[in-house]
Structure 1
């Protein structure tokens, strides 16, 4: 076990000895006792396994800072395009931090600074923490890595939400007379209006968009229409739908069986009468080669034609991006401003709330939301519908 003493300056000196493993005793200096205890505990766990960090052998470690770890992560892992700008920002903000100082205390202090100093929104904080956590996950998996624990994975739920202490700091540090606005989560409440849904269906059916000379060229037109209907009737995620196999659909039981979802769990999704009707129509279109479905006969037992069954992360992301762009074209042509495919999940969930007497727990079973607070983000009931329930 490391020995320690506090110096007159207030800093702490730690000395680690390990006969037969370390060539000589090594000493470290930390500003806080807790930081030293945490670092030495991690170091001794490595020494117990016979792993000696390069810096203790007077060798320069390959990855000494967070910046080193970020660069290694970017060249070693197929990082999502959406993550790259975030990682570039992190490089400038925390790239110089030494990895040996990264522990849970550092993680807490960093998040606190993002709130109390940078005053970032909760969603931005989650993006920063999530991107860096994935980098640290990669670091812990490297052979003989001295980074054995990812402290960002230990942060509590709702770590990005501003609490009373954060709000107090913002008020105390604000210029006199300035009204302090504590950042809050901005919940998206975009709904699909009836006239917008009608316009989308017309575009998918081949109607020319306003101001254009010809209709959109839409490959697999019948599949696009069915996927749109399925999203509205079930609230399923895009990837959950386009990866469906025929064996996952039991029309007799009116159920789709999902083997693996975003949350990693299995889920059963009940089908409405409308979903069953649109599925039957889609099957007829495929069988007859109608509605642009020529050349597709449920190859490989798959329900939709865009995905080839390769479950690599790269292929799945490309397929998701392809379909997202396709529907973005359709929604734009239909005049649906600021509307994306994932908004159909919001719309479907809200419709279940509006049209049924199911409990929140029952709806969560259908949509796959684990956190009731997250489910409430999708339950954006129209004020006019609520008004009709009042006296």
Structure 2
């Protein structure tokens, strides 16, 4: 039988001692709660299904998040992004609670609060990371009794799929036929490049829109994997876990050749090492600053010319939109089965999320 004793004027302690099991004790605010807990634990022990909850009750959420960041995150490809998500969780008051005290109702309130500020995909990503923390704690950290409160939370439907295409330039392109159509809509991007104060961002931008490579793939691209003679860039490790070879357009080859010549002129060894010695998040920040400066310059230009600025030009433009743009351009050249080899999509349905043809371009194909 469990022993229930009063501790001070406001607390009750339940103690359970049973042969073959470690002694259990817990403190409650009322005697009824203490008796209900003791009855549940004794029943589990009698049926042989009892599992210790001690570690889950002693480990705070922020401690579990820190352990997850140290042991699990370094082995993930999106380590930088996931560390940012963990930081957001650690900033919540909920992080001071034990893992066993985190309830789904707490997460529901936090989900609704975040949805007022963030896109559903962002909230969904945060919930997914927390769910994995609880899963790892239960499966690998010896907390078998721990339930996953995220499983009971209704997930927001991501509705922030993007169809952003670059605005077309006013003038014709001087590029050769075959690449001229793809380069003719670079007007908006040229403004961003011109406004960039970075030494490497222009080359990154042009490669992104010419190859459809991801930001992380560009940041990790190494010279020993670039074959300018064959016009191929080899990516040994990608987001989906498989390697691929990316064909390089004439413009992409020219960009890389110019970079290589500049490095060699500075007596740098380009036989090895990364093509762009920058982090992925630094690319995003530099691109955002360049877009902002380009928009400001465009607005000033319109004021000087006494014309109204286009509201959509150089607004709501993200670096990942370059992958959408590149995929849509390449789709006019390569069939679907070849395009998947270039972009790295294993599922054609995912590829269709990146393919956004302009209606006027499709209309031109009609008789």
Query: Quick one: structure 1 residues 331 and 54, their matched pair in 2 at CA, closer, same or farther if it must change by over 3 Å?
Result: closer
Contact 2:201 2:286 in 1 (8 A): no
Question: Does structure 1 residue 61 correspond to structure 2 residue 57?
Answer: yes
| Inter-partner Cα distance in structure 2 for 1:69 and 1:138 | 13
Post-superposition CA distance 1:20-45 (Å, at most 9, x none): 45569x97659xxxxx9xxx99x56x
Query: Quick one: structure 1 residues 376 and 131, their matched pair in 2 at CA, closer, same or farther if it must change by over 3 Å?
Result: same
Shift of 1:379: 0.8
Shift of 1:202: 5.7
Contact 2:166 2:188 in 1 (8 A): no
For the residue of structure 1 that corresponds to 2:57, the secondary structure is: coil
Q: Which of 327, 339, 342 does residue 349 from structure 1 map onto?
A: 327
Shift of 1:130: 1.6
| Inter-partner Cα distance in structure 2 for 1:22 and 1:82 | 37
In structure 1, the partner of 2:259 is 282
In structure 1, the partner of 2:124 is 126
Shift of 1:232: 0.9
In structure 1, the partner of 2:275 is 304
Post-superposition CA distance 1:193-239 (Å, at most 9, x none): 233834543664xx6x6xxxxxx643xx2x33322221111111112
Contact 1:86 1:127 in 2 (8 A): no
Shift of 1:385: 0.9
| Inter-partner Cα distance in structure 1 for 2:203 and 2:293 | 19
Aligned length: 289
For the residue of structure 2 that corresponds to 1:242, the secondary structure is: helix
Structure 1 unaligned regions, length at least 5 = 1-16, 31-35, 47-51, 163-183, 210-215, 289-293, 308-318
Query: Quick one: structure 1 residues 364 and 390, their matched pair in 2 at CA, closer, same or farther if it must change by over 3 Å?
Result: same
For the residue of structure 1 that corresponds to 2:317, the secondary structure is: coil
* CA RMSD between the two structures: 4.4
| Inter-partner Cα distance in structure 2 for 1:376 and 1:86 | 33
Q: Which of 162, 181, 203 does residue 188 from structure 1 map onto?
A: 162
Shift of 1:73: 1.4
Question: Does structure 1 residue 337 correspond to structure 2 residue 319?
Answer: no
Q: Which of 141, 144, 157 does residue 142 from structure 2 map onto?
A: 144
| Inter-partner Cα distance in structure 2 for 1:137 and 1:282 | 45
Structure 2 unaligned regions, length at least 5 = 1-16, 25-36, 71-81, 170-184, 296-313
Contact 2:58 2:98 in 1 (8 A): no
| Inter-partner Cα distance in structure 2 for 1:226 and 1:198 | 16
Structure-2-length-normalised TM-score: 0.61
Contact 2:327 2:354 in 1 (8 A): yes
